Amino acid sequence: MRLPKAVRDNLLFLLAETHSQIANFQVLLETQATTVAQRILDRRGYTYNLKMRIHDGCVDALRHGRKGSLNVFSLRAAEAIASDLERISHICFECVHFIGNVTDVKVLKKSGISVLIEEALRGIDLIEQAIDQEDTKTALKIGNVERKLDRLYNNIFRASVKEMRKSKKVEDIVTALFIAQRVEEIGDVLLNVSESVMSAQLGQPMHIDRFRSLKTALSDLGLIEAEVEPIAETKSGSGISGISDGASDEDGYVAIFKDGKKEKLKEERESVENWHEIFPGLAPQILSYNKQGKNASLLIEHLPGLTFDQILIQEEEEVLDKALKHLCKTLKAVWKETKRKKSFAANHMGQLQKRLGQVLDIHSDFQTAQGKLGDKKIRSLEDLISKAKALEEKVDPAFSVYIHGDFNLDNIIFDGETKKIKFIDLHRSCYQDYTQDVSVFMISNYRLQVLDRKTRRRIQKAALHMYEFAHDFAAKQGDKSFDFRLGLGLARSFISSTRFILDAELAGAMFLRGVFILERIAELNEKDVNSFELPMKELFI
């Protein structure tokens, strides 16, 4: 880690102080000497002062340091490690108070806590070595201490429970167990330190399970060394990175590495496999899938081309026209190939009800009450949604097709050279009403936070192009309630998408459009559904 001398010196002082406090705590555990206890408690202010010197030193370095001489990830790691070391000291202070409540010192000696402390000391001793090194081996060793402490604590817990059944010193045993649990928490702190050091050395945020998954992924690619560049993070918490060996063309990626919650990535892998069976050529190839505890990782084929949001914002009109043409051509082929008589409703209003709380957390002024304007009754937002839901439940889709499930612009890739469309982020793919994908695509255009007139016209063009294509497809398939179901989907997406938008003007415009659609639907009877129409051009201005 590259650190200014003042920051580095204070960090080493804090390491030495933390080691000293834990060593003193070990002595206290054996002796219960009040002088040792007081020695630990008296040092609390010094630990805090060292932490603040490190934080202030990092701020000064950022404020006054020369560009090129600073390593921001190292400074960020130094701040985090300082806070973590102070937390370890705080754990020691708490344990001192616990020990004062133990009446029989033999209980502490028999508890096995000293073994936990020795392991924690071993982890702290590794920190200085990890800071000095350029590789991640020692950082990984620090992280492994957490696993060892977990196992040791579980053994102590089981032994303590057994001892309680036959001992008269139950209070002391429980207190010793509390102390053991607090010492075990030092392992969690050391894991944080490990990840901070690793992030500084790799130049990007990195947790230990992700690092292990990444090593496995590089091995699967046959790469000993590679460059890993963060690309994005999904709303579900998954991280997406590009892997480059420095030899490939274009943007240099040889594969895409995605890691996150095991359930999400397992769903995505299964959906990709389904796409390969149902409609080959649209989904990327999965190069490998690995599990690490509750997390997992996917190594995915890198797809050349541009996402649709990049095309809308960056490319010429001719490229956009080609991309829209090939997207609609691809969707038509998929929908025809996968069309099934059995229908699966999108439940647009159910989706909106589920997300409405998150919307109102961000935009509390969207909560509208019931009232009257002259003779006209004004429905509350909840009432509008409930009425639309009741009508939606009476109208089944004419058929179902295999949909993407999260048909946002950044999940669709167009390769201008091969003129091919590809889909990514497929964990929600299933057989369903195609108005789900159509509505998400249209609103994904509208919610782009670009305000210049030229781009807004292109956004309107893309959304209307998708509508006209889907409307024409529905007419040819005899799908008479398409516009009604699409209206429900648009209302859902207009309103629910505002939970991702802080710009009050854009969020307000989207919310009012969603309410307008719901008010139109509230006027309908079941017999009016097939003749329902919306002023699409005006909605997407």
Q: Write out pLDDT tens, residues 263-275.
A: 888 888 999 999 9
pLDDT at 234: 64
- Tally of structural domains, the chain: 3
Q: Are residue 370 and residue 339 in the same domain, yes or no?
A: yes
pLDDT at 16: 93
Residue 358 pLDDT greater than 90, yes or no: yes
pLDDT tens sequence across 373-430 = 666 777 899 999 999 999 999 999 999 999 999 999 999 999 999 999 999 989 899 9
- The residue from 167, 186, 203 where one domain ends is 203
Q: Are residue 71 and residue 162 in the same domain, yes or no?
A: yes
Q: Are residue 115 and residue 20 in the same domain, yes or no?
A: yes
Q: Are residue 191 and residue 232 in the same domain, yes or no?
A: no
Q: Are residue 401 and residue 461 in the same domain, yes or no?
A: yes
pLDDT at 241: 80
pLDDT tens sequence across 177-206 = 999 999 999 999 999 999 998 888 877 777
In whole angstroms, how far apart are CA 410 and each of 75, 175, 314? 33, 54, 13
Count the neighbouring beta carbons within 10 Å of the beta carbon of residue 505: 9
Q: How many helices (H) and strands (E) would you count in the chain?
A: 19, 12
Residue 124 pLDDT greater than 60, yes or no: yes
In which band, very low, low, confident or very high, does the pLDDT at 249 lie, cut at 50, 70 and 90?
very low
pLDDT tens sequence across 441-456 = 999 999 998 878 888 9
pLDDT at 225: 64
Residue 248 pLDDT greater than 90, yes or no: no
Domain, as residue range, for 87 = 5-203
At 236, which CATH number? 3.30.200.20
The mean pLDDT of the chain is: 89
